[in-house]
Chain A
Amino acid sequence: MNKQPGTKGLIFNEPQLWDKSREGRCAISLPRADVEQAPMDPRFLGDAPDLPQLSELDVVRHYTRLSQWNFGVDSGMYPLGSCTMKYNPKTNEVQAARQGFAGAHPLVGDEFSQGALKLMYDLEQHLGEITGFPAVTLQPAAGAHGELTGMLMIHAYHAKKGKQRSKIIIPDTAHGTNPASASLCGYDSVNVKSGEKGILEPATVAALMDEDTAGIMITNPNTLGLFEENIKEICEIVHAKGGLVYGDGANMNAIMGVVKPGDLGIDVLHLNLHKTFSTPHGGGGPGSGPVGVVEGLIPFLPVPRIEKGLSTYKFVTDSPDTIGRMHTFYGHFGVMVKAYSYILSMGGEGLRKASQLAVLNANYIKESLRDVLNLAYDRPCMHECVFNDKLQKENHVTTMDMAKRLLDYGFHPPTVYFPLVVEAAFMVEPTETESKEDIDQFIDAVKAIAKEALENPEELKKAPLLTKVTRLDEVAAARKPCLRG
């Protein structure tokens, strides 16, 4: 068996910034003051905020040490289901840092921003081609923001038709942002149960769909990693009663170049550039959530839109049925540059290959671990597969215990306890950028942990042992929240 990646090593304690502060230190080079100091009206003059005072090396050591306590995709395999933790190419960072992009002021005028406008326009076209939609907006700042955008458009569509509806059908496998986004538009969520196969059945949807239902929100492949085989029929059922279909495109990494969501009957779809399109997760953002729409929803897209003339591009805000603005400016341009660079680096064939290999990696893991962990649905999976702790229950070892023990082996745990339809879910999404050797090491680690669960569960439950801190008291953190120093 290969040596597992997780090992011991010396890292450093590092206090909070204000504990290192010393009166008089300053880490920034103060710009030369070349104009007279102007007084500020005493009604408004305040004291200097009591920020820490540090030297430059204080700051550099502080954050260098902090970074060493973190696990990133660059550290090791990060198989978080539904998050698509693929490799973040460094050339993308170089492109985004170009002075012409990073230094661009958003209000300098269309004439002087042609590079940005062209990039955004082309990115809209490419994303539209990949997903099968005639129009795309890049304005939403994250996936959940894209969902809200899509739901606002559905709401606006029904308002324009003269009859607003009150409900949205949402599968039990949906991500929490789905019902939350629907709620923000005033829609009640109607829960629809997935069938035995782990996918939606047309009959159950048909039973719920009526003229007071604005539509349905579907993730495909769904959060169990399964392709919604009945999606075309389901879209027809919803359309027949005047509803619209919202597609949550978080799992797009499984089907690029294989299936276009626009061909399935979906009316509006959001993408996560920080998942499928390789932009970094940044410890929680910034992301970007573009939204693609069918012809009938184009009038409702947020403004400004980008229009292409003969050889120039401009922003257009004149759009009478628009839902309005979702973001102060045009969305997360800095993130768009990275996704655009990725698409240009991969090409159409490359993106298709990426999806194929993502699905191969997930199926390989599924087959390799099917007797080690309980497979929630013994069916062909797409880019992720779901297990749970059923086989370990008799030893009182839980999904949480196994996840924490994986840390000691040098792997980031998969997504745990989601989706809710599987009790104690353990959802693995390797992505296409993991090599066979790394995946084999992961498989060996899970097998070793399953063995520990049988032979030495008490020890296992103490995990993690090699990390800087061990399991944290989340109850105390919630009872007596301490949110600042």
Chain B
Amino acid sequence: MKEISDLTFSEDVKYTKDHEWAKLSDGIATIGLSDYAQDQLGEIVFVELPEVGDSFSKGDEFGSVESVKAVSEIYLPISGEVVEINEDLEDAPEQVNEDCYKGGWIIKIKPSDLSEMDALMDKAAYLDMLKG
């Protein structure tokens, strides 16, 4: 596992304490896992995705990520309805390891309460949390 200084943290996204990220664009929020999360999990073998149309509240478990030796639940940073899932992950779950902020995106949601974005951390705050 890498040192924090060797990991990448995108400027464009906001982070949760459970190491998910959310990026708002044209009213749709894309959700994924941070570089720290994928590094901790190791090589990912399977991503369990919800179905389009499923609705969740902030903090709900919406799926899981499996490595060879562990499973981790993933939690929704802000409330909303699933409008798209990354079907590429079915054949290439390793995208979450290799390109966690772009190609490794997990789901896209229509947020039900945009103000929830304010409670998420920016890159600096997330880094502080990891180092602290």
Bound-complex Cα distance A405 to B123 (A): 43
A51 within 8 A of B: no
Bound-complex Cα distance A474 to B46 (A): 13
B49 within 8 A of A: no
A475 within 8 A of B: yes
Bound-complex Cα distance A475 to B44 (A): 8
Given contacts A475-B45, A475-B67, 12 further A-B contacts (CB under 8 A): A417-B69, A474-B68, A475-B43, A475-B68, A478-B45, A478-B46, A478-B66, A478-B68, A479-B45, A479-B46, A479-B93, A479-B94
Distance in Å from the Cβ of A389 to the closest Cβ of chain B? 15
* Of B45, B69, B94, most A-chain CB atoms within 10 Å: B45
Bound-complex Cα distance A474 to B68 (A): 7
Count chain B residues whose beta carbon lies closer than 8 angstroms to a beta carbon of A. 9
Within 8 A of B (CB), among A6-22: none
Using a CB–CB cutoff of 8 Å, the interface residues on chain A facing chain B are 417, 474-475, 478-479
Using a CB–CB cutoff of 8 Å, the interface residues on chain B facing chain A are 43, 45-46, 66-69, 93-94
Q: Which 7 A-B pairs have the closest CB atoms?
A: A478-B45, A475-B43, A479-B45, A474-B68, A478-B68, A475-B68, A475-B45
Distance in Å from the Cβ of A225 to the closest Cβ of chain B? 23
Complex contacts, B45 vs chain A, CB 8 Å = 475, 478-479
Distance in Å from the Cβ of B14 to the closest Cβ of chain A? 30
Complex contacts, B67 vs chain A, CB 8 Å = 475
Complex contacts, B68 vs chain A, CB 8 Å = 474-475, 478
Distance in Å from the Cβ of B64 to the closest Cβ of chain A? 14
Bound-complex Cα distance A475 to B46 (A): 10
How would you classify the secondary structure of chain A's contact residues: helix, strand, loop or mixed? helix
Distance in Å from the Cβ of A295 to the closest Cβ of chain B? 41
Bound-complex Cα distance A318 to B15 (A): 61
The chain A residue with its CB closest to the CB of B93 is A479
Bound-complex Cα distance A474 to B69 (A): 9
Distance in Å from the Cβ of B68 to the closest Cβ of chain A? 5
Distance in Å from the Cβ of B42 to the closest Cβ of chain A? 8
What are 13 A-B pairs with beta-carbon distances under 8 A? A417-B69, A475-B43, A475-B45, A475-B67, A475-B68, A478-B45, A478-B46, A478-B66, A478-B68, A479-B45, A479-B46, A479-B93, A479-B94
Bound-complex Cα distance A478 to B46 (A): 8
Complex contacts, A479 vs chain B, CB 8 Å = 45-46, 93-94
Complex contacts, B94 vs chain A, CB 8 Å = 479
Distance in Å from the Cβ of B95 to the closest Cβ of chain A? 11
Bound-complex Cα distance A474 to B44 (A): 11
Complex contacts, B46 vs chain A, CB 8 Å = 478-479
Distance in Å from the Cβ of A347 to the closest Cβ of chain B? 43
Bound-complex Cα distance A475 to B97 (A): 13
The chain A residue with its CB closest to the CB of B45 is A478
Distance in Å from the Cβ of A148 to the closest Cβ of chain B? 22
* Of A417, A474, A475, most B-chain CB atoms within 10 Å: A475
Bound-complex Cα distance A441 to B94 (A): 43
Bound-complex Cα distance A116 to B57 (A): 59
Bound-complex Cα distance A417 to B94 (A): 24
Complex contacts, A417 vs chain B, CB 8 Å = 69
Distance in Å from the Cβ of B71 to the closest Cβ of chain A? 11
The chain B residue with its CB closest to the CB of A474 is B68
Complex contacts, A475 vs chain B, CB 8 Å = 43, 45, 67-68
Bound-complex Cα distance A417 to B45 (A): 20
Distance in Å from the Cβ of A394 to the closest Cβ of chain B? 16
Complex contacts, B93 vs chain A, CB 8 Å = 479
Bound-complex Cα distance A479 to B66 (A): 10
Distance in Å from the Cβ of A433 to the closest Cβ of chain B? 31
Distance in Å from the Cβ of A426 to the closest Cβ of chain B? 16
Bound-complex Cα distance A98 to B110 (A): 69
Distance in Å from the Cβ of A400 to the closest Cβ of chain B? 11
Distance in Å from the Cβ of B49 to the closest Cβ of chain A? 15
Distance in Å from the Cβ of A189 to the closest Cβ of chain B? 16
Bound-complex Cα distance A153 to B43 (A): 41
Distance in Å from the Cβ of A147 to the closest Cβ of chain B? 21
Distance in Å from the Cβ of B56 to the closest Cβ of chain A? 22
Distance in Å from the Cβ of A476 to the closest Cβ of chain B? 9
Complex contacts, A478 vs chain B, CB 8 Å = 45-46, 66, 68
The chain B residue with its CB closest to the CB of A479 is B45
Complex contacts, A474 vs chain B, CB 8 Å = 68
Distance in Å from the Cβ of A455 to the closest Cβ of chain B? 26
Bound-complex Cα distance A479 to B97 (A): 13
Distance in Å from the Cβ of A41 to the closest Cβ of chain B? 42
